[in-house]
A and B are shown apart, each in its own frame.
Chain A
Amino acid sequence: MAEEFEPKIVAFLCKWCSSAGSDLAGVSRMEYPYNVVPITVMCSGSISPLYILSAFSRGADGVLVSGCHPGDCHYIKGNFYARRRIALINKLLDFIGLEPQRFQMSWVSAAEGTKYTEIIKDFVKELKPLGPQTKLGRDL
């Protein structure tokens, strides 16, 4: 039997909430799938659509963007910009024909290690049946 497909996921986490939340998951020794490689950025508002397209074109099977909860942004309102931008990116990816499940946005606070763990688990579970992403990706 062929080995189970393991999706490759890039997660863009804002430094102050989501990255801190993922640190808390670590401190609390919660276990989650290893498929996600996080990149910590200062703010979810700094995540350019190009980052997401770049990740897909470099072979990511899924991309996660996670920021502070709306209203709790360390930089006052960056996550509101992120939210609007993500809505547009969703439309673009839909237009390209990428499965909508491959791109997710979540709000994870510094206190939500459990939530971060659950999000990763669910994301990996959702991506597995989709198989490798080939619309934008190239074989690496």
Chain B
Amino acid sequence: MKRTGVFICHCGINIAGTVDVKKVAKELSNHTGVVHSEEYIYMCSDPGQNLIIEAIKENQLDSVVVACCSPTLHETTFRNTVKSAGINPFQCEIANIREQCSWVHKDMEKATEKAIKLTKSAVERVHRNESLDPISIPVTRRALVVGGGIAGIQSALDLANSGYEVILVERSPSIGGHMIQLSETFPTLDCSQCILTPKMVEVSKHPKIKLLTYSEIQDISGYVGNFKVKILKKPTYVDPDKCTLCDECTKVCPVVVPNEFDLGLTGRRAVYMPFPQAIPATYTLDIKSCPGLLPIACGKCADVCEPEAIDYDMKPEIVEEEVGAIIVATGFDLYDKELMAEYGHGKYADVLDGLQFERLCSASGPTTGKILRPSDHKEPKEVVFIQCVGSRDPELHCAYCSKICCMYTAKHAMLYKHHVPDGQAYIFYIDIRSGGKGYEEFVQRAVEEDGALYLRGKVSKIFEDKGKIKVWGVDTLSGKDIEIDADMVVLATAMRPSEGAEELAKKLKIALDKDGFLSEAHPKLRPVESVTPGMFLAGAAQAPKDIPEAVAQASGAAAKAIAILSQERLFHAPTVAKVNVNLCTGCGMCVHVCPYDSLSLKDGKAEVNEVLCEGCGTCSATCLRAAIEVKNLTPLQVNEMIGASLGG
């Protein structure tokens, strides 16, 4: 039988005002196995903790129950207290008689009765607690960053500049993400490429960063501090070391396909460089559009390549890496235009999405920065911008707000006016959301200086008529129907999680929210962590966000990763599952239900990987033979707690 001490806290009058603490102490002193019981005004204070230490020494206690506030507050405090008196911290349990008792009841007699039950329940639990030591795990002090947009770049640089090796994986041929496609950025009108390319170059030159472009995550195993990653490096069929960037290959390539970088506004060849500042600076032969990797099928590019950089025999490669932490920054895609047929996107050449308009404004874009209609290359004199296309539409499209559209539409209107001073920008909006430093002023500037005409309402119909795009809508503020003969329409389409993010999330075991974005561990207090320890989130993969927010989150994720990588060993709670091999029949049901893959069958018996186990106990409730239980909250303990809770 254990020698348990019970300590009841008054918490000033927070507990003692409703619970007769003296009665609780007296009642508990008569409970089996309790050799010491006392109350004190503030147990968490220094004198209170000293009182516990003294009582442990004086009465040779081997276990302790503190009846006080919620264990979320002072469990750690009191476990450290008993540790300092020489008792294993897992021999200390908390009875929550404040949040779950004194604060929700008024009748002293009844509250006292309940407090006694709660305290006895904790005593019954601690009587069967094992002494446990934290599980120690070594740390591989390198990181993996998935996604080479601004968020991934920022995380990789922060980690590398802190001295940790980073593997940066990007699935397209160049890093840069969507930010490199933008013309100017709000609210400063900085040129996007001018501020991003120095960071891209830094990534490519950094001795601590291993950049794998045109590569995808194939498989991930392991756990925090010790992940094993398999990365598929797709063949580019161009040897970057030999390639001299002479561009002869693209001149002879007979294939033209839509250029992803210009969102289809221009074409590219099957062998191509995504954009002039691409990192790594090399060509890629796109196997999907190439007529065939055989000289007999085409072979023109290899023929003209003097340095013989084109290698049709290049094979996919599997790169295996070990890392201690992972940052997922897979970014966003725009809402599929085929789902937005009502706005004529994809049907009329002069109905564009926001990113296409960025390319039109960009000095490196298809029109070298002149805003021209894709259909006839004429300068549009009236442009209609429509916000919330696909966003804030729970019935048909996305329920959420895509957050950046209000700001970039204001920017678009402004840029348009700067390019076409005699033009007129109309903006259909539901609300203007311009929270952010300098954002509201920016929108005001679009209205006041650049004459953007904001119309509060939705567009009902868009159709082509005599070379114009007719836009019918309503201005809900004046109540008038609006009809505009526009030359161009720009849609602020919703942001979606990037294609393939769901598949990757499954491999990483990161949960997705209802919209398919990666779920953070806590919406307020753990916004950059995933629920899986050691995996962090950055940028628009987690939720729509603008560049400063993506960068801030990326730096936050890097700091969280560094908190792991900076340690030689990690410690994990030892309250994990334990198998009774004599009872286990090897049916494998526990293996199947474990959310963390911490169980496996070995020699016909279940085996726990203690490092992976989070101690949820789902296995225990599933096992038909009671052969598996979680340490310090076993079915036997719960059973005794039930008895105490019912006053038995």
Decide whether A and B assemble into one complex: yes
Interface residues, chain A, CB within 8 Å of chain B? 8, 10, 20, 22-27, 29-32, 34, 37-43, 45-51, 54-55, 58-60, 71, 74-78, 81-82, 85, 117, 140
B615 on the A face (CB < 8 A): yes
Q: List 15 A-B contacts (CB under 8 A).
A: A23-B99, A25-B99, A31-B104, A34-B101, A34-B105, A37-B114, A37-B646, A39-B641, A46-B616, A46-B630, A58-B642, A58-B648, A60-B642, A81-B593, A140-B648
Q: How many residues of B contact A (CB 8 A)?
A: 47
Name the residue of chain A whose CB is nearest to the CB of B514: A71
Task: Provide the residues of chain B in CB contact with A25, threshold 8 Å.
Answer: 99, 104
Is B96 engaged at the interface, CB distance under 8 Å to the other chain? yes
Nearest CB in chain A to that of B117: its residue? A37
Stretch of B214-222, B435-443, B618-626 contacting A (4+ beta carbons < 8 Å): B618-626
| B interface residues with partner A (beta carbon < 8 Å) | 70-72, 96, 98-101, 103-107, 110-111, 113-114, 117-118, 121, 509, 511, 514, 531, 593, 595-596, 614-618, 620-622, 630, 633, 635, 638-639, 641-643, 645-648
Q: Which of B113, B514, B617 contacts A42 (CB 8 A)?
A: B617
Q: Given known contacts A26-B103, A39-B121, A46-B620, is B642 in contact with A54 (CB within 8 Å)? A: yes
Closest Cβ of chain B to A86, distance in Å, is 11
B595 touches A76 (CB 8 A): yes
A26 touches B98 (CB 8 A): yes
Asked whether B621 lies within 8 Å of A38 as measured between CB atoms, the reply is: no
A55/B618 in contact, CB under 8 A: no
Q: Is the CB of B616 within 8 A of A55?
A: no
**Contact yes or no, B105 A31, CB < 8 A:** yes
A38 vs B98: C-alpha distance when bound (angstroms): 13
Chain A residues contacting B630 (CB-CB under 8 Å) are 42, 46
In the complex formed, the residue of A with least CB distance to B523 is A111
Cα(A140)–Cα(B643), bound, Å? 10
Known contacts A48-B635, A75-B614; A31/B106 CB under 8 A: yes
Tell me which residues across on chain A come within 8 A of B642, comparing CB atoms: 10, 39, 51, 54-55, 58, 60
> Distance in Å from the Cβ of B94 to the closest Cβ of chain A?
10
Given contacts A48-B621, A81-B621, contact A59 B648 (CB under 8 A): yes
Which residue of the partner chain A has the closest CB to B522? A110
| Additional A-B contacts beyond A41-B633, A43-B616 (5; CB < 8 A) | A34-B113, A39-B645, A45-B617, A51-B638, A75-B616
**List of A residues within 8 angstroms of B614 by Cβ:** 75
Q: Is the CB of A32 within 8 A of B104?
A: yes
Are B646 and A42 interface neighbours, CB within 8 A? no
Chain B residues within an 8 Å CB radius of A140: 646-648
Q: Give A27 to B104 CA distance when docked, in angstroms.
A: 9
CB distance from A137 to the nearest CB of B (A): 9
Binding site of A, secondary structure by majority: helix, strand, loop or mixed? Answer: mixed
Please state if A85 and B621 are interface contacts (CB–CB under 8 Å): yes
Let me know if B621 and A10 touch, CB within 8 A: no
Within 8 Å by CB of A41, from B72, B107, B593, B617, lies B617
A45 to B615, CA, bound (A): 11
Nearest-CB residue, chain B, relative to A47: B621
**Which of B71, B107, B595 meets A78, CB within 8 Å?**
B595
Q: B577: shortest Cβ distance to chain A, in Å?
A: 10
Known: A22-B100, A29-B103, A47-B621. A77 touches B595 (CB 8 A): yes
| Contacting pair A39 B617 (CB below 8 A) | no
| A38: chain B residues within 8 A (beta carbon) | 96, 100, 118
Residue of B at shortest CB range from A8? B646
What is the minimal beta-carbon distance from A71 to any residue of chain B, in angstroms? 7
Q: Are B103 and A46 in contact (CB under 8 A)?
A: no
A110, closest chain B residue (CB): B522
Given A23-B70, A51-B635, A85-B621, A34 contacting B616 (CB threshold 8 A): no
User: Residues of B contacting A58 with CB < 8 Å?
Assistant: 642-643, 646, 648
**The one of B72, B101, B106, B114 that contacts A20, using a Cβ cutoff of 8 Å:** B72
Bound complex: CA of A85 vs CA of B514, how far in Å? 24
B100 and A78 contacting across the interface, CB-CB below 8 Å:
no
Give the complex CA separation of A39 and B514 in angstroms.
31
Chain A residues whose CB sits within 8 angstroms of the CB of B100 once the complex forms: 22-23, 26, 38
Q: Which residues of B contact A22 (CB under 8 A)?
A: 99-100
Please name all residues of chain B whose beta carbon is closer than 8 Å to the beta carbon of A55 when the two chains form the complex: 642, 646
The CA-CA distance from A40 to B105 in the complex, in Å, is 19
Q: Are B648 and A76 in contact (CB under 8 A)?
A: no
* Alpha-carbon separation in the docked complex, A38 to B638 (Å): 12
Compute how far the CA of A22 lies from the CA of B620 in the bound complex, rounded to whole angstroms.
25
Residues of B within 8 A of A45 (CB): 593, 616-618, 621
Q: Which chain A residue lies CB-closest to B638?
A: A51
Q: Which residue of B lies closest to A20 (CB)?
A: B72
Determine the residue in chain B with the shortest Cβ distance to A140: B648
Contact partner, A27, options B103, B106, B616, Cβ 8 Å: B103
CA distance A20 to B71 in the complex (A): 10
Contact B99 A27 (CB under 8 A): yes
B104:A37 contact, CB within 8 angstroms: no
Shortest distance in angstroms between A8's beta carbon and chain B's nearest beta carbon? Answer: 6
